[in-house]
Amino acid sequence: MKYTITTPLYYVNDKPHLGSSYTTIACDALARFQRLKGNSVLFLTGVDEHGQKIERTAERKNLQPQLHCDEITDQYKYLWDKLNISYDRFVRTTSKEHISLVHQFYSKVVRSDDVYMGRQSGWYCVGCEEYKDVDKNDKNPICSIHKKDLEWRDEENLFFKLSKYQDAIEELIKIDGFISPESRKNEILNFVSKGLRDFSISRVNLKWGINVPGNKYHTFYVWFDALLGYVSGSLKDQDSPELTENSLINWPANIHVIGKDILRFHAVYWPAMLLSAGLKPPHAVFGHGFLTREGQKMGKSLGNVLDPIKLLEYGGIDAMRWYLLRDIEFGEDGDFQIRRFVDIVNSDLCNTIGNLLNRTITMSKKWFNDNIPVDNTLLSKSPLKIKSELKIKEYIDSFNDSNFKNSANAIIDIANNANLYLNEREPWKLIKDISNNDIVASDIYSVLESCRIIGILLYPIVPNLSIRILKQLKIDSSCISFETSLKWGLLNPSSGLEDPKPVMEKIEIGESLF
């Protein structure tokens, strides 16, 4: 089956931070999970380059906007490579394919009679690139997200007839699984029930945007332009983009993963725009929570961000990916704490998993001719087999719900069970009596087999660590799949073992990291 997943297209007003890395890591885990399930995945990410926010940033830096965008885009690509993000397409909204697609899409919306000229006045947040629901008589209102002054706007804009899609959107957002998590769904149901208002899709006096055909002084509103990046990124032929559903790789997207701040755009405005252009709306939208520092959203505009590159240098890629997906409930806000980061990584990855693998390989090689023992006796009855089968199911069910935390916990449970089993069975005592040879062989095989399963299950969350674990067991990670690799007993006793090497270095708590 085909599966399309998208990250938001990130504003290039500043270099990427931990918050943007969070969404992208989560999507990468989902994309890898879907590939292991045997699906053919289109994983799309990219950058949102137009609008006033970007124009002003470039001005402050005394740079041409395009040069500024190129610079920041390179930093996103560099970070995604460092984080081993397995994206298939990287969309830039300044690319010529995208611009051409926006024009085509607009003409379809016009043909549906969904565009008219009107006047918009109200308080605007440049950080959000959005009009805010604030009384016009309010004096000096500020944006609750960006903590910056709102700006008064009163201008002629083109409007999109969102109100025409009231019934269609009401139907859509009621569908089970369209909006997750459930709490976010209620927020949108409530918003839509108050009645949808048409929204403006063009700006005047803004040069840094895509021109609106037939309207010399207008450029497209940055959100109208950016959402269409999901379409331009899905085009089969990037050289001669022509917009029909057949010209797209897999439409509609299975899931748009976004932060809760931009849920309305994705769950309401975006599906209506698609319906207007005759394209299907997405299957699902997941609005995750914010990474916070001292309770405040971590954000480029607020200047309280953690630099992912510094965190990578400090703890490494596996530590960073593991902590974000294992410790923070996806969907809820989560406060980043360095002490907790260190404790969790050291405890889970170095002690529980790393030591298990290390000590078991050492025992196996020492007692069984440098190899994996043959398990003649208890293969089908091993208590570790039964527990691991239960945990594999828990892991897969949770991943299907984007519940990374539960999936990660299921892996740790498998490792804890195996550690406990070794401690109870004490093979180092049993092996002293030669008549126990078969029992010890079976025990060691079972624990190594648990390590193999752990290695596979870790792959979507921490691919680099997973590959290192599987390599020690002489397993080619490029050949794994859930269907063919998760059956108990596939570890081949004749394949041998590498010399045990710690798969994860402990992190020492630094003096001052940030």
By C-beta, is 10 or 404 nearer to ligand MSP?
Answer: 10
Q: Which two tokens stand for residue 281?
A: 């709306």
Q: How far apart are CA 58 and CA 265, in angstroms?
A: 25
Joined tokens for residue 79 = 């970070």
Closest separation in Å from C-beta 228 to ligand MSP = 8
Q: How far apart are CA 17 and CA 20, in angstroms?
A: 6
Residue among 325, 90, 32 at smallest CA distance from 317: 325
For the record, the structure tokens of 457 come out as: 């299950």
State the nearest-atom distance from the C-beta of 238 to ligand MSP, in Å: 18
In angstroms, what is the minimal distance from the CB of 431 to ligand MSP? Answer: 50
Please give the Cα distance from 331 to 322 (Å, whole number).
16
Q: Which residues bind ligand MSP (CB under 6 A)?
A: 8-11, 19-20, 22-23, 48, 226-227, 229, 258-259, 261-262, 290-291, 297-299
Round to whole Å and give the CA distance between 289 and 299: 13
To ligand MSP, the closest distance from the beta carbon of 210 in angstroms equals: 14
Nearer to ligand MSP (CB atom), residue 178 or residue 269: 269
Which of 37, 82 has the CB closer to ligand MSP? 82
Backbone angles phi, psi at 79, to 5 degrees: -65, -40
Residues 6+ apart with CB under 8 A from 452: 470, 473, 475, 490, 491
Pairwise CA distance, residues 129 & 121, whole Å:
14
Q: How far is the CB of 211 from ligand MSP (least distance, A)?
A: 20
Nearer to ligand MSP, 10 or 106 (CB): 10
Q: How far is the CB of 475 from ligand MSP (least distance, A)?
A: 34
Among residues 63, 37, 68, 30, the alpha carbon closest in space to that of 50 is found at 68
Residue 146 vs 468, nearer CB to ligand MSP: 146
What's the closest the beta carbon of residue 274 comes to ligand MSP, in angstroms? 13
For tokens 């709102």, the residue is 150
**Nearest distance, CB of residue 359 and ligand MSP, angstroms:** 38
CB 381 to ligand MSP: min, Å: 46
Cα 267 from Cα 261, distance rounded (Å): 12
The C-alpha atoms of residue 336 and residue 297 are separated, in whole angstroms, by 11
User: Which of residues 259 and 316 has its CB atom nearest to ligand MSP in the complex?
Assistant: 259
CB of 393 to ligand MSP, least distance (A): 30
- Backbone φ, ψ for residue 48 (5° rounding): -110, 110
Residue among 103 and 359 whose Cβ is closer to ligand MSP:
103
| Residue with Cβ nearer ligand MSP (13 or 442) | 13
> Which residues have a Cβ under 8 Å from the Cβ of 322 and sit 6 or more positions away?
344, 345, 348, 349, 408, 461, 462, 465
Strand 334-335 versus strand 291-293 pairing type: parallel
With respect to ligand MSP, which residue has the nearer C-beta, 282 or 427? Answer: 282
For the chain, helix (H) and strand (E) counts, in that order, are 20, 16
Nearer to ligand MSP, 261 or 413 (CB): 261
Interatomic CA distance for residues 163 and 97, integer angstroms? 30
